[in-house]
A and B are shown apart, each in its own frame.
Chain A
Amino acid sequence: SAVISQKPSRDICQRGTSLTIQCQVDSQVTMMFWYRQQPGQSLTLIATANQGSEATYESGFVIDKFPISRPNLTFSTLTVSNMSPEDSSIYLCSARVGYGGELFFGEGSRLTVL
């Protein structure tokens, strides 16, 4: 199994600023992902965080807006850049232990952009 910790758990941000969310896993994992859950909506995959290389983004998400780092097997960051109120969401980090293994989730980071 894997325990995933995210920081911050919540934040209130001003329009035009950027915020970096950190994700720490308590064990080495093969794959890490970032999801967004907008108010009243489902989870949408933003990108797959690749260790030591550029993240793989899903349609509708771009690196300039959501830069992602993954310097090692247990840690990743997601930055939400130049925020607008439409970016107000819960951002979730997830990780998979082994190929085809269970996907574990962090508790999420709730961002409110004013």
Chain B
Amino acid sequence: GDSVTQMEGPVTLSEEAFLTINCTYTATGYPSLFWYVQYPGEGLQLLLKATKADDKGSNKGFEATYRKETTSFHLEKGSVQVSDSAVYFCALEYGNKLVFGAGTILRVKS
């Protein structure tokens, strides 16, 4: 069945460091891909999405490109801030259902 694999965390970075969180997927057909973020004490929020191959989703300085050839949707940010500390979930959508990765904890130190 469809699945999503994310790099394990926690990922600990210093402020202004470059961030990559890897995400690969297995799916039949061409799913839409998402990154969700969960800040401490809050619910999940959509961070960005891409609906077809080569689409780039971006928001709040984060970017991810839908790569069909490598079945990947890696999350990147050029310069992280302490306020980016959260749990990040990669997900794919088939029909009206989302399949989530395990989540990656990001900790940013000042």
A92 touches B98 (CB 8 A): no
Contact for B101 among A42, A103, A105, A107, CB less than 8 A? A42
Q: What is the total number of residues of chain A having a CB less than 8 Å from a CB of chain B?
A: 19
| Chain A residues positioned under 8 Å from B43 (CB to CB) | 4, 92, 105-108
Chain A interface helix/strand/loop/mixed: strand
Query: B38: shortest Cβ distance to chain A, in Å?
Result: 9
Residues 94-114 of A at the B interface (beta carbon under 8 Å)? 94, 96, 99, 102-103, 105-108
Contact for B42 among A33, A96, A99, A107, CB less than 8 A? A107
A31 touches B96 (CB 8 A): yes
A43 vs B102: C-alpha distance when bound (angstroms): 7
Q: What is the total number of residues of chain B having a CB less than 8 Å from a CB of chain A?
A: 17
Q: Name which residue of chain A comes closest to B96, CB basis.
A: A31
Q: Is A45 part of the contact surface with B, judged by Cβ < 8 Å?
A: yes
Q: Is A41 part of the contact surface with B, judged by Cβ < 8 Å?
A: yes
Contact for A92 among B4, B44, B45, B101, CB less than 8 A? B44
Chain B 82-99 interface 0/1 with A at a Cβ cutoff of 8 Å (1 = within) = 000000010000001111
Residues 58-88 of A at the B interface (beta carbon under 8 Å)? none
Q: Is B17 part of the contact surface with A, judged by Cβ < 8 Å?
A: no
Q: Is B46 part of the contact surface with A, judged by Cβ < 8 Å?
A: yes
B102 touches A96 (CB 8 A): no
A102 touches B100 (CB 8 A): no
| B interface residues with partner A (beta carbon < 8 Å) | 4, 36, 41-46, 89, 96-103
Closest 5 CB pairs of A and B: A105-B44, A107-B43, A43-B100, A105-B43, A42-B102
